[in-house]
Chains A and B, each alone.
Chain A
């Protein structure tokens, strides 16, 4: 029973939402919307679980004086401040305190971290684009054509270089990306169907 019931519920819910997607029926639509709303509510509860997970992990870290424990204090203080600001204000997550933390702490930190991506790309590219075999040689050539072809000076180097860059992006690159997308769609379909027919049961043993 412990195995069958969760599987039966999951399969029934999955089929109902799927049938609702394909057929335009008033009752099916209402049922599908209800099930999807339940998902949203369950996801909200999952967020509480996530917060408790963070809380217990960092409290343990502080009490056991593990490496980097002062950062855990900072994390809990900021989390508590945001939570307090949101819960005590009628504006909820739009409360001035919450907005201040987001606008002046989180957003600048995120922007500065994301700006590092350019340097990370350069260092990763340097390591990866060494022509070790024919495959990486092709990669280096394509990379150079696109990189130099984007620059305004490209046409002075060789008149056809911008056109060659466009061709690389529009033909081999797009063809490869579409191949990947078709493969991914098939893989996603297979994963979904396996769960729907009960071959895969990530929700029960």
Chain B
């Protein structure tokens, strides 16, 4: 052990950072292996997530009702600790945008962090380009409301109130302000799907949404909505690493209890 610590010190890496590096490398190898398996034809069985099933029907519902679909990208942006949550929201937006372009539906997308504005606009633009209809893209379909979470929530409440919204998807990084928007939508009778990763926000998601994506479920959008091989492989790799962590916890408890 001492030799290992000396070796780490000599290479300029802290022990905790070394552990994180090991986890990263293990996950990377799992991911590459799982991705290869999926590309060779293996299809993992996915447990049903009603949130994604409902999300897939949102556009049809909005088109049928001739009303608007609102997508909230959360109050966090790109470049911070919640980047992964924001990416999960973008994945849902990509899917909804593709369906919306195919059916001629107008999406109203709102963002709170300015770093997300060009990315969300680009996601929408690409959806139009893929369908061969780039002239249909209007950058104002993505609206920057405010950088402050409460101010953003107020803006979204205004959108839900005034813009004849029939369905509302809120997936991304959120805090307590989630309930202000979610409850407003619920009172208006809007069909809602919400997803967040913060344990403090999850109760608000659970109580105000018709279907909730809780914790890590929000990251599974690519696998559930688009069946992307890399995302299916990623889910497999996550499961393997999770099993390894559970095993490590159990072994740690046993060793600590009976040996040390």
Contact = CB atoms under 8 A, between A and B. Distances in A.
Interface residues on B, range: 35 or more
Contact of A25 (B12, B143, B182): B12
Contact of B31 (A46, A53, A116, A194): A194
B115 interface: yes
B208 interface: yes
Contacts of B33: none
B87 A205 contact: no
Given A200-B230, A202-B90, A128 B114 contact: no
A183 B114 contact: no
Contacts, number: 163
B114 A50 contact: yes
Interface in B132-152: 139-140, 142-145, 147-148, 150-151
Given A49-B117, A187-B216, A23 B158 contact: no
A192 B84 contact: yes
Interface of B: 11-14, 17-18, 20-21, 23-24, 27-28, 31-32, 35, 77, 79, 83-85, 87-88, 90, 114-115, 117-119, 122-123, 126, 129, 139-140, 142-145, 147-148, 150-151, 153-154, 158, 162, 176, 179-180, 182-183, 186-187, 197, 199, 202, 204, 206-208, 214-216, 218-220, 222, 230-231, 234-235, 237-238, 241-242, 245
22 contacts: A22-B17, A42-B115, A50-B117, A53-B139, A68-B158, A113-B153, A113-B180, A117-B180, A121-B179, A124-B186, A180-B197, A180-B199, A183-B242, A184-B197, A186-B238, A187-B216, A191-B87, A192-B83, A193-B24, A193-B27, A195-B87, A203-B122
